[in-house]
Amino acid sequence: MPEDTTTAESAWNAIQTCREVYNHALTQEYRPAPDHNKPSYNTMQNMLPKWKREWSEWKGVYSKCLQMAVRRIKNSESVLDSLEERGFDVGRLKWKSPREYRSIKYNQSGFDVDNNTGQDGHAIVNLSKIGNFNLDYHRPLPTKQNQNAKITEVILKKQKTGDWTVSIVVKYDADYPEKPTVENISIEDTVGIDLGITKFIHDSDNRAFARLDEEKDRERVERRHRSLSRKQYESENWNKARQSLVRAYERLRNRREDYREKLACWYTQEYDAVFLEDLDVASMTQQDRNARNISAMSWYATIQAFERHGNKNGCHIVKVPPEGTTKRCAKCGVGSDKPLWVREHSCPSCGFTVDRDYNSSLEVQQLGLKKLGVEFEKEELGLGQSEYSSNTMSVEAGISEGSHHRDALLSNTAVNLAIEAENLMREHRSPTLKERTAKAVSE
């Protein structure tokens, strides 16, 4: 919460100045340059003094924040690039309106976080050239005496609901656990994961997780869209309805994130090495553009969550190329074409018959083991010898029959996951969202 209305005002003005700098750098310097000759972040940053001479009001904002606004172009660009490298059809960065640009980032300097306020979980954050914000925090903040943890970034954001949030980025010095050496990894402590469109995850121990059941969230979003459309534009009721719609979207986004984080946390605690397919656009081509957007972003975010939790929990995360994993037989290696709607892998060469995604995950495991350098014989992999028999098994059966798996889940810290997963398993839903919903979610 800003200390007073003046602080709130100067914060919003500072954010909008950052937006002007962002838009200026993007549309005047970055976009007009030919692809092979885009100005670097440093080049654009070095133009800032000149810009400030031209627009003196830009001097009113802490200068490092303006540099961060310029860097934002490069950061977004590199995300788009890595999506594009994987064959994904990405748009390009656009000029941002005030509604689309809502945050300011302090990096390394210009901020002070005082959590010695005499009140538990309460801190006062001072932002240079803006003022003080009162902050209630839920995770411990490092003290100034702590040499191993340091606050490196403070991001102030005005949410679309009108609430202010302060994110504090803390850097801990390498207290990550060591990952096991390759010689010490046994095959049963590794897992291949098939990230799918119909199912969220199918793994090489024949465990399956459905997609998050978003039906209620989507209904809520739809309802609030309808309610908004009945209000008079920009009236007080319209504003209220809009904020409640934004909250519905946020809730959906948070649930998705939560689901990913729990799965990533559980897998990286349970295994020494997790193998995942790299983002695969080819498997998404049957979706419409918006749904594909969402799938790709979700896939991308999932890989990142696994990598983050892998570091924290001492687990190798190995990405393997996705090409062909759905076609090749995990047992004999012979490829056979099958359209997406054929849910069973039945090998014409050796007769190996299992769920399509299970076959992929077994293939992913083998590719991962090779890439990581773990030696193995095919016989060690227990192909199709899981407790679920080699026949195609429904996702529902995956958890309800697999008490062993449920125990494994419950014995873990992510207890909620087991409960939630069961609810989620009941149906697997198509990830396709209604277009309007999709657009707003991906914004």
CB of 332 to Zn ion, least distance (A): 3
Residues 332-351, one symbol each (x = binds Zn ion by CB under 5 A, - = not), give: x--------------x-xx-
The distance of closest approach from Cβ of residue 331 to Zn ion in the complex, given in angstroms and rounded to an integer, is 5
Region from 180-188, 216-224, 260-268, 328-336 binding Zn ion, contact rule CB under 5 A: 328-336
Residue in this structure with the two tokens 């000759």, named with its chain if needed: 37
What is d(CA 107, CA 29) in angstroms, rounded to the nearest whole number?
A: 23
Q: Output the smallest distance, CB 356 to Zn ion, in A.
A: 13
Stretch that binds Zn ion, among 99-107, 168-176, 252-260, 324-332 (CB under 5 A): 324-332
Are 320 and 368 in contact, with CB atoms under 8 Å apart? yes
- Which of 63-71, 123-131, 182-190, 323-331 is the region at the interface with Zn ion (rule: CB under 5 A)? 323-331
- Which string of DSSP letters, residue by residue, matches 275-323? EEEPP-SGGGTTS-HHHHHHHHHHHHHHHHHHHHHHHHHT-EEEEE--T
With both helix axes pointing from N to C terminus, report the angle between 63-85 and 289-313 in degrees, rounded to the nearest 10. Answer: 110
Between 385 and 442, whose beta carbon lies closer to Zn ion? 385
**Shortest approach of Zn ion to residue 432 CB, angstroms?**
32
How far is residue 427's CA from residue 440's CA, in Å, rounded to a whole number? Answer: 25
Tell me the closest approach of the beta carbon of residue 264 to Zn ion, in angstroms.
31
Of 166 and 330, CB closest to Zn ion = 330
Nearer to Zn ion, 104 or 347 (CB): 347
- From the number of C-beta atoms within 10 Å of its C-beta (0-12, 13-18, 19+), residue 244 rates as middle
Dist CA 69 CA 106 (whole Å): 10
Q: Tell me the β-bridge partners of 355.
A: 344
Q: How far is the CB of 392 from Zn ion (least distance, A)?
A: 16
Strands 316-320 and 273-277, by their bridges, are parallel
Give me the 351-370 binding string for Zn ion, x by CB under 5 A, dash otherwise. -x------------------
- How many Cα atoms are found within 13 Å in the side-chain-facing hemisphere of 85? 10
- Does 329 bind Zn ion (CB under 5 A)? Our answer is yes
In this complex, which beta carbon is closest to Zn ion, that of residue 332 or of residue 397? 332
Burial of 174 (0-12, 13-18, 19+ CB in 10 A): exposed
How far is residue 9's CA from residue 27's CA, in Å, rounded to a whole number?
Answer: 27
Does position 33 interact with Zn ion (CB under 5 A)? The reply is: no
Verify binding: residue 330, Zn ion, rule CB under 5 A. no
**Closest distance to Zn ion from the beta carbon of 208 (Å):** 21
* Nearer to Zn ion among residue 349 and residue 389 (C-beta): 349
**At its nearest, how many Å lie between Zn ion and the CB of residue 349?**
5
Query: Between residue 64 and residue 103, which ones bind Zn ion under the rule CB under 5 A?
Result: none
Q: Do the beta carbons of residue 110 and residue 128 sit within 8 Å?
A: yes
- What residues make contact with Zn ion under the rule CB under 5 A? 329, 331-332, 347, 349-350, 352
